[in-house]
Amino acid sequence: MVRFLSLLLFFVFLISGNSNHTIANEYPQPDGCDNIFLNAEEINSDDFIRNFLEKSESVMRDTTYSYVFGDDPEASGDYIAEFGPFDYNLFNESLEYFKLYKPSEFDIWDDWDFEITAEDILLLRQIACDITLDKKIIRDFSIKLTELLGEAEEWTGHAANWEDFPYIETGNVVIESPSPEGLGHYKKYITGGGVIIVGGKKVPDAAMLAAREAVVYMTSEWDGIRNKLKENKVRISLFGPRGDTSKLPEYKREHEPGGFAMGLTDTSMTANSGWLCYEGNWEIGGNTVIHELVHSIQHTVMNTENDLYFYERIVPLALSAIERGIYGDFEQNLSKGVEQNISHLVGEYWALSVEGYIMNKGPDFKNSHYTREWIKENDPGVYDLIRRYYPKVEWDYCPGVEKHIRH
């Protein structure tokens, strides 16, 4: 979302500060959408595009449910813990705008180095229409819009840059990966809980199975979540056990040692297979698959489902935990030159709390929120929120690991 917002701010600046140029051409209409866009008023194409981008920027800058560190609501992502149904609101605001207006005839709209064609706008309106007809999902709209704004060129992990893996029901068996063009690095493949899991040849089969077990458990009591994850093409790209995310074809410029979450327009989330716990790899500490999947579900499902119950509660709960001194004693792996502040703590609170709840192994594994009992006693608000989504039935995480804890 930070990448998307920065691009929007740049383009809105260009629009407001420069004259626009359009080449006239008859403007087509989306197929099968007459009833939806029947009353759209034709307005000047320059105004149509400028107003659309300004509205999009306003939606993505909304901090209603976010936490802003300091006094600057326009601060960078290093100072904002972003929470909210951004893409749900972006789609719905765009749909209403498309119902009200359509552009006058044009071929190309350009402003300096930025260009939008009539076909681009047509496709956006077509996707919006198809979503209302249950032919596409909100992710499709966000991918196309961010691609149009240049994010696919800026970010190698953008979904527009890569073909989707097919979803094959594998059961608890690792199979040869049906890797699309450009993704031949991935030799191993397994699915579970609506999620595709892939890994290179050096990723142990045991790590693939451990990742699948975690996903299947985490999605076992959340009604409909597996279908939603499958629809949103959620994928876990395992790397390691040595190295970092730069080993993966989609993220050669990224050097994250543990992994990172999947945003709605990303092609996958990532996780270091060496940081998972399974027989023969008795990892004492956090679990990157669990942690980053919590973030990824928030970015893909909660975001597009407009889950206001969650968004209205999560930041106040995080700030309360920080204020009471029961959370925040850790350091993140941040970009060079970025100092950790409260926004980072708030941003990680939900994933760390769920991670500890799922693992349920005690203080050797987490600094706080390390067992269900501890969370229920010390942070009952987040305990109740976790149990709204994640399993109430306990899971025996990494059986046998207790024998390998050193004190």
Do 93 and 131 fall within a single domain? yes
Do 15 and 101 fall within a single domain? yes
Do 211 and 146 fall within a single domain? no
- pLDDT value of residue 329: 73
Do 219 and 263 fall within a single domain? yes
By the 10 Å C-beta count (0-12 exposed, 13-18 middle, 19+ buried), 64 is classed as exposed
Secondary structure (H, E, C), the chain: CHHHHHHHHHHHHHHHHCCCEECCCCCCCCCCCHHHHCCCEEECHHHHHHHHHHHHHHHHCCCCCCEECCCCCCCCHHHEECCCCHHHHHHHHHHHHHHHEEECCCCEEEECCEEEEHHHHHHHHHHHHHHHCCCCCHHHHHHHHHHHCCHHHHCCCEHHHCCCCCCCCCCCCCEECCCCCCCCCCCEEEEECCEEEEECCCCCHHHHHHHHHHHHHHCCCCCCHHHHHHHCCCEEEEECCCCCHHHCHHHCCCCCCCCCCCCCCECCEEEEHHHCCECCECCCCCCHHHHHHHHHHHHHHHHHCCCHHHHHHHHHHHHHHHHCCCCCCCCCCCCCCCCCCHHHHHHHHHHHHHHHHHHCCCCCCCCCCCCHHHHHHHCHHHHHHHHHHCCCCCCCCCCCHHHHCCC
Share of the chain above pLDDT 70, in %: 87
Average pLDDT over residues 324-352: 81
- pLDDT value of residue 341: 82
- pTM of the predicted model, to two decimals? 0.92
- pLDDT, tens only, 205-217: 999 999 999 999 9
Do 200 and 347 fall within a single domain? yes
- pLDDT value of residue 12: 45
Do 211 and 284 fall within a single domain? yes
Do 28 and 127 fall within a single domain? yes
- pLDDT value of residue 355: 98
Average pLDDT over residues 123-134: 95
Do 48 and 70 fall within a single domain? yes
Which of 154, 181, 207 terminates a domain? The answer is 154
Token representation of residue 348: 């990680």
**Cα-based torsion angle of the residue sequence 26, 30, 32, 38 in order, rounded to the nearest 10 degrees:** -70
**Residues, the chain:** 407
Average pLDDT over residues 349-354: 97
Do 70 and 168 fall within a single domain? no
- pLDDT, tens only, 16-57: 444 344 444 445 667 788 789 989 999 999 999 999 999 999
Which of 100, 131, 154 terminates a domain? The answer is 154
Q: In the predicted model, is pLDDT for residue 89 greater than 60? A: yes
Lowest-pLDDT choice from 74-88, 93-107, 145-159, 388-402 = 74-88
Alpha-carbon distance values, 352 to 137, 332, 358, 369 (Å): 29, 12, 10, 7
Which has the higher per-residue pLDDT, 253 or 113? 253
Alpha-carbon distance values, 117 to 24, 34, 105 (Å): 11, 21, 11
Do 59 and 90 fall within a single domain? yes
- pLDDT, tens only, 173-213: 999 999 999 999 999 999 999 999 999 999 999 999 999 99
Q: In the predicted model, is pLDDT for residue 76 greater than 80? A: no
- pLDDT value of residue 48: 95
Range of the domain at 118: 2-154
Cα–Cα distance, 191 to 172 (Å, whole number)? 8
Which of 130, 154, 178 terminates a domain? The answer is 154
Do 318 and 364 fall within a single domain? yes
Lowest-pLDDT choice from 77-86, 117-126, 257-266, 284-293 = 77-86
Ramachandran category for residue 333: left, alpha or beta (phi over 0 → left; psi -120 to 50 → alpha): beta
For the domain that residue 270 is a member of, what is the CATH number? 3.40.390
Do 112 and 185 fall within a single domain? no
How many structural domains comprise the chain? 2
